[in-house]
Structure 1
Amino acid sequence: ELFIYSPDYVGEVSFGDLPGKTKFSWSSKQPADLRIVAVEPIEGNCYLRAIYKDREIECMLPFKDKASIENGMICWATLLALGYSAEQADLRLEKLSHVSMRLELKTGINQCSIIDDSYSADISSLAIALDFLNQQNQHPKKTVILSELFETGQDDFDLYTEIADLLAQKKVNRLIGIGPHIARYAELFQLETEFFEDTLAFIEAFPGMQFSHETILVKGARRFEFGRISKLLTQKVHDTVLEIDLNAMVGNLQFYRSKVKPGVKIMAMVKAFSYGSGSFEIANLLQFHKVDYLAVAYADEGIALRKAGITLPIMVMSPEESAFEAIIKHNLEPEIYSLEILNSFLNALSDYDFDYPIHIKIDSGMHRLGFDKKDVEHLSAMLKDSQRVRVQSIFSHLVASAEAEHDGFTQAQIDKFSAIATELIAVLTYKPLLHIANTSGISRWPDAQMDMVRLGIGLYGFDSALANNRGLQTTMVLKTTVTQVKTLDAGETVGYSRKGVLPNGGKIATVKIGYADGYSRAFGNGVGKMLINGNLVPTIGSICMDMTMLDVSGVDVKPGDEAIVFNREHDIMELAKQVNTIPYEILTNVSQRVKRVYFYE
């Protein structure tokens, strides 16, 4: 018998009382067979160094969270105890993958939002899940589907009293309890309740139950197979999925916060469906983590956020005159970039008696939108004479803040903007916020942070001012599935216009993603590649509207296998280079029909 243990956790038990004929210990705190001496996070991975048999060994774990790192240490100890060499152990540990134990936020049936946490059930993880539920503002009603909890060490009455208190604190409206024990304490729950003996009883009753316009937390022990409940509640969509790691996004926000000087505000860019990642879900996360402002491109994006419960100030960067009434109604703040737009907005405010917040855009060198130097005198006069608007901020946009060869131009932009802003402020009786730094500006131009910075693509894990996006975390994974696998004879062709050819024959796999999903036709004919079972395989033939064919000759592939379009290993920067574009375009091209799933650990 072999007993693998850590002396950090055995308490006062003496070595002789431990089970097993052979013992193997590991520790990061005290002497052990495997004495871990260094734990260093490296870009989403974790490097471990240890002393084993009087020599130094190392390994790399593909994890960054504390729990997974500790699990990885146990795996390392187990491999060594079983006789694997340090080199063999390292190779095997690199291939470890996460067992899903995280919250997933999904789109549900009947305009519901589903928080799927059907992997664990204990009082601590319930509290975390309820906190996440409480962050969701898209629906006023909150429902919890909860299994009974096991092995908590608490008396049942005390346990369910604590759960009832938690539900009350988090203002949960409805509880659906599953399991015989929880039903016995129904009187403890002062909210709408319904109880079922087991998961099957719930599934049988499901067709007659009402779920509509609510946020539903599905929280259950694995033995209850709540995955079946989550599947019933989740909106049916096709198998191509964009996964968004909310923890990684928060990590990126904190990364930039660490670079921003005290007192400097952060405006987060959530335009273009939050760079493809989802509007409300990302805005809600940013609101919870207390960014100061949001920015959208068009009024309808801001209106959707207001209707979903977002209360942060929202700047509209491309306001249209036809939308002015809606902008005012929903308390959105327009960017004003010309005398004509300012005059039109002042006219729209004729029936209102208050200082409406606006943002003045200066063209310091982008030559896209904004006031020029020649407009300043007229603009100043209009602002001075008007009682209807209040300039909330004056801002401009850097053209090449990431590129050292254009630093002279960037400095000239900053100087020009500062001079024009100073002129405008001179005619006002107050000082608006000034901002010019974008994501790369935060990284490379700390002296240009002024009163506020605008954080855009950096939130999503990309900053061209940082080598290999160092310090940022990957936030998105685009994946699909294999529909069919075919073996072709030599000379057979693949796809429209017979552009794909296998001269020697081979095997192709068809996957469920095409240009209607945002996978550009430019990736066709071998330009693009996807990961299947750890193998990078090229496209073959033209990209179709709903499907793509891959050359999987020599690769073990079957229908239902996962195909990764991009992730941390097969990163989006490389995809962008393949088709001569930028990550922004790849992300924003992912169409609305692709299901978004949000993870929170």
Structure 2
Amino acid sequence: MSIPIQNIIPVIEAKATIELVDEIIENVSIDSRSQQNNNKTLFFALVGPNHDAHIYINDLIDKGVNNFVVNYIPDNINDKANFLVVDNTLFALQNFASYYRALFSFPVIGVTGSNGKTIVKEWLNFLLSPDYNIIRSPKSYNSQVGVPLSVIAINEHHNLGIFEAGISTIGEMVRLQKVIQPTIGILTNIGSAHDEGFVDISQKIKEKLKLFSDVEVLILHKNKTIEAFLKSEIKTFTWSSQDRSADVYYQKKSFDNHSVLNITYKNLCFSISIPFTDDASLENCMHCVLTMLYMGYNDEIIQSRVSELFPVEMRLKVKNGINNCTLIDDSYSSDFQSLKIALDFLEHQKQHKKRTLILSDIFQSGLSDDELYARVSQLIISYKIKRVICIGDTVVKFKHKFLNSISFQSTKDFIKAFESLDFDNETILIKGSRQFEFENIVSLLEEKTHETVLEINLNSISHNLNYFKSKLKPKTKVMVMVKAFGYGSGSYEIARLLAHHKVDYLGVAFADEGIELRKAGIDLPIMVLNPEMTSFSSMIQYNLEPEIYSIRQLKAFLKIADQKELTNYPIHVKINTGMNRLGFDTEILPELVSILKGLTSIKVKSILSHLASSDVLSHNEFTLKQISDFEKDSSFLMKELKINPIRHICNTSGISNYPEAQYDMVRLGIGLYGVSNDEDEIHLLENVGTLKSVISQIREIHEGESVGYSRRFMAEGKTKVATIPIGYADGISRAWGNGVGYVVVNNQQAPIIGSICMDMLMVDVTGINCTEGTSVIIFGKDPSVVTIAKGIKTIPYEILTSISERVKRVFYRE
């Protein structure tokens, strides 16, 4: 891309304030954190319900960015850069992408549907890449923002595009059609995803079909319902296993680990074998087969390539590695666009100063090898990668472009040399094309734990944070609680994400939790809610702010403060308004005032209290009295001490149920993790944590035989029993066993039978298709932690925080 900024102004209908007239735009950004931002970047300051990228503009100018598309020009910077002012920065981004897409005339495949979009796109990329330089959506970049960013990555060497489009409500697809401008359309399975954005299935289908308003051909499963909504001028190419009037008809034979499809197309009959047996994979495969037929491929090429299809990994995963390393696992794709995305993700991982990139040959860049690896070298320098390990015939030829590089011709050569490579205290990005089998490298580097993992969806954390932010007044601050190992989810990773979202405070229970966050590089203000007096010196050393709740504790802190000659060190005064746990009672406040008056060593940063029953609306009168008492007591302190601190009393339930008590700040806890006591609200939150394991062994028992300790389960007939390597030492309560609870195996509920053991539990999988090694969901969407809590008569907090730290945490972004 090389476009004069003057050419962009009319395209996005901007009113321009131009300081640098001759600027040339070479890349586009919406992410203030990206190391790719520079003086050739056009930054679109996107605005959403709970975020406004305009707040990052000052920082970006300091980093050298000169060109911005904005809704407004922030104060005091209008003469520091070029500003293109528009009514809506998202629409401006889409309009620019539409203009840019129209500069290229090669075929573009547009894919939409409810399910299977990303898999079809990735499979088509694999099937067609031997013959084309393909530009495609990275990962699942199919949103109103992701689609234009994908299209803007086109360069003059590409000759085929594959872009997916996802929508959640009406009015969105028209804009994406203008951006993608597909010449070939594929409609995948229409299911229930995002149904809430449409009146009914008819409206949803009509909206999806708008992507194909100007295609040469639309490829789809023959379906009378969908065909009823198609305009007569749209040419279709259909497939079916039931309707012989489809353009392509197939019959299926399924085996243990593969399927054979016998395909009839015009006068052509041939068979293909694919390594899948499930219906969804067969549907996705047929869309690919029809695309290849339409593009003129013969049956022999189709047969040979389709037989090599593979499962698609759509997530970047963060894993614990050996020797205190952190792994970013992106071991199934290697193209230039996804490398940039992975490096941006790496930039957010600030746990280690040392960064290593393990990189295979890069394919489908559309660039010459010289230009491609020159650009890769620039990326590596800008992201401060300390070591590059090159694997592959091509990348090895350019190893001289990378500082501190090591090279291997193959993954096998790397594995042979593994013991000599010295991985220790570093973040390692593993970025490789599927054919290099980098999963073997991940296996070597991954910390060895048992097969149970807690997967944490970082996108869901962001969604839930933004949901609760939407309930707040514009100036209300947010403290997020990351105590108890981030409610069992992992405090450092969550804290880092919260820092990006610019929350105002983090809350921990004890000083050592805060110290670990500081050591990991978290520099947000951190409040310690239950500080032990023996930890005051350490807290001061790491700039942690104590909650002060008693005269004795205050005097102990002041003694340390005087010894260290502190000035205006922040403290947080807690008032007891009815929780009767910690805090100053009303009658103690005059004594508190007498001690604090005139002190310069400390500063009352905030005054807080804690709602005892904000989640129980039948206790409304009690909660309102708490709020009233807090108002009275905090006002007394503010008046007597002549201070204007932050005041806060609302917890998660308080945010939703008592909006009038937001004061200056709220404290968000369990809600961040997708849990609410409100049945309606919980459907608006996203599940964050999914606890998974695998089946270790399956056996069949007969009537009268028992399972587990104390023979608490007795079989009433032939029963198939699966043993799963997770137990009460991992945090699964024994009360959830013996018929009370269940796990999910292949989307079916399998009751837990017998007593839950320390390291194992057993389930009844009679009638469920599964084998040893099959994945098992312990909790997630179903059963949710709320379901489990109700089943054993406790609270979701206990379920989440009980998960042992020996259970591996895997963090990922969709």
The TM-score normalised by the length of structure 1 is: 0.87
Q: Is the 8 A contact 1:116 1:218 kept in 2?
A: yes
In structure 2, the CA distance between the partners of 1:39 and 1:453, relative to structure 1 (3 Å rule), is farther
Correspondence for 1:435 among 624, 643, 648: 648
Residue 596 of structure 2 aligns to a residue whose secondary structure is helix
Corresponding residue for residue 479 of structure 2:
267
In the TM superposition, residue 82 of structure 1 has moved relative to its aligned partner by 2.7
Residue 556 of structure 1 aligns to a residue whose secondary structure is coil
Structure of higher RCO (CA pairs closer than 8 Å, 6+ residues apart):
1
Corresponding residue for residue 18 of structure 1:
none
In the TM superposition, residue 13 of structure 1 has moved relative to its aligned partner by 7.4
Corresponding residue for residue 77 of structure 1:
220
Corresponding residue for residue 391 of structure 1:
604
Q: Within 2, Cα distance between the matches of 1:462 and 1:75?
A: 42
Residue 472 of structure 2 aligns to a residue whose secondary structure is coil
Residue 294 of structure 1 aligns to a residue whose secondary structure is strand
Superposed, which structure 2 residues align to 1:156-555 within 5 Å?
Answer: 156-189=369-402, 191-353=403-565, 354-465=567-678, 467=680, 469-555=682-768
Q: Is the 8 A contact 2:187 2:219 kept in 1?
A: no
In structure 2, the CA distance between the partners of 1:513 and 1:265, relative to structure 1 (3 Å rule), is same
In structure 2, the CA distance between the partners of 1:291 and 1:504, relative to structure 1 (3 Å rule), is same
Corresponding residue for residue 66 of structure 1:
none
Residue 385 of structure 2 aligns to a residue whose secondary structure is coil
Corresponding residue for residue 76 of structure 2:
none
Q: Give the letter for the 1:397 counterpart.
A: H
In structure 2, the CA distance between the partners of 1:454 and 1:378, relative to structure 1 (3 Å rule), is same
Aligned length: 560
Q: More deviation in 350-359 or 586-595?
A: 350-359
In structure 2, the CA distance between the partners of 1:424 and 1:92, relative to structure 1 (3 Å rule), is farther
Cα deviations across residues 285-318 of structure 1 (Å, max 9, x unaligned)? 1112211110101111111111111111111111
In structure 2, the CA distance between the partners of 1:233 and 1:94, relative to structure 1 (3 Å rule), is closer
Corresponding residue for residue 94 of structure 2:
none
Q: Is the 8 A contact 1:40 1:47 kept in 2?
A: no
Q: Is the 8 A contact 1:462 1:469 kept in 2?
A: yes
In the TM superposition, residue 99 of structure 1 has moved relative to its aligned partner by 3.9
Q: Within 2, Cα distance between the matches of 1:436 and 1:402?
A: 14
In the TM superposition, residue 584 of structure 1 has moved relative to its aligned partner by 0.8
Residue 599 of structure 1 aligns to a residue whose secondary structure is strand
Q: Is the 8 A contact 1:105 1:597 kept in 2?
A: yes
Q: Is the 8 A contact 1:538 1:550 kept in 2?
A: yes
Cα deviations across residues 520-547 of structure 1 (Å, max 9, x unaligned)? 1101211110011122011111110000
In structure 2, the CA distance between the partners of 1:210 and 1:150, relative to structure 1 (3 Å rule), is same
The answer to whether structure 1 residue 155 and structure 2 residue 368 are counterparts is yes
In structure 2, the CA distance between the partners of 1:247 and 1:542, relative to structure 1 (3 Å rule), is same
Residue 559 of structure 1 aligns to a residue whose secondary structure is coil
Q: Within 2, Cα distance between the matches of 1:95 and 1:397?
A: 55
In structure 2, the CA distance between the partners of 1:556 and 1:431, relative to structure 1 (3 Å rule), is same
Cα deviations across residues 458-517 of structure 1 (Å, max 9, x unaligned)? 111112235250221111100111111111121011111111110223121110100000
Q: More deviation in 372-381 or 281-290?
A: 281-290
Cα deviations across residues 99-154 of structure 1 (Å, max 9, x unaligned)? 42211000000000001011222222211211111111211111111112111101
Q: Is the 8 A contact 2:392 2:410 kept in 1?
A: yes
Q: Is the 8 A contact 2:744 2:782 kept in 1?
A: no
Q: Give the letter for the 1:292 counterpart.
A: D
**Alpha-carbon RMSD:** 3.2
Percent identity over paired residues? 45
In structure 2, the CA distance between the partners of 1:338 and 1:346, relative to structure 1 (3 Å rule), is same
Q: Give the letter for the 1:304 counterpart.
A: E
In the TM superposition, residue 445 of structure 1 has moved relative to its aligned partner by 2.1
Q: Is the 8 A contact 1:101 1:117 kept in 2?
A: no
Q: Give the letter for the 1:288 counterpart.
A: H
Q: Within 2, Cα distance between the matches of 1:510 and 1:40?
A: 33
Q: Within 2, Cα distance between the matches of 1:513 and 1:291?
A: 35
Q: Give the letter for the 1:141 counterpart.
A: K
Q: Is the 8 A contact 2:576 2:584 kept in 1?
A: yes
Residue 562 of structure 2 aligns to a residue whose secondary structure is coil
In the TM superposition, residue 48 of structure 1 has moved relative to its aligned partner by 9.6
Q: Give the letter for the 1:172 counterpart.
A: I
Q: Give the letter for the 2:239 counterpart.
A: L
In structure 2, the CA distance between the partners of 1:166 and 1:57, relative to structure 1 (3 Å rule), is closer
Q: Within 2, Cα distance between the matches of 1:431 and 1:281?
A: 33
Q: Within 2, Cα distance between the matches of 1:85 and 1:576?
A: 46
Residue 116 of structure 1 aligns to a residue whose secondary structure is strand
Residue 82 of structure 1 aligns to a residue whose secondary structure is strand
Superposed, which structure 2 residues align to 1:49-128 within 5 Å?
Answer: 77-78=220-221, 80=223, 81-83=238-240, 99-128=312-341
Q: Give the letter for the 2:335 counterpart.
A: D
Q: Is the 8 A contact 1:444 1:465 kept in 2?
A: no
Q: Within 2, Cα distance between the matches of 1:567 and 1:539?
A: 16
Correspondence for 1:565 among 772, 775, 778: 778
Residue 220 of structure 2 aligns to a residue whose secondary structure is helix
Q: Is the 8 A contact 1:486 1:509 kept in 2?
A: yes
Q: Is the 8 A contact 2:198 2:204 kept in 1?
A: no
Q: More deviation in 397-406 or 574-583?
A: 397-406
Q: More deviation in 496-505 or 311-320?
A: 496-505
* Structure 2: runs of 5+ lacking an equivalent: 1-100, 109-163, 166-172, 209-216, 224-237, 244-277, 285-310
Q: Give the letter for the 1:228 counterpart.
A: N
Q: Within 2, Cα distance between the matches of 1:314 and 1:252?
A: 21
Q: Is the 8 A contact 1:491 1:505 kept in 2?
A: no
Corresponding residue for residue 22 of structure 1:
none
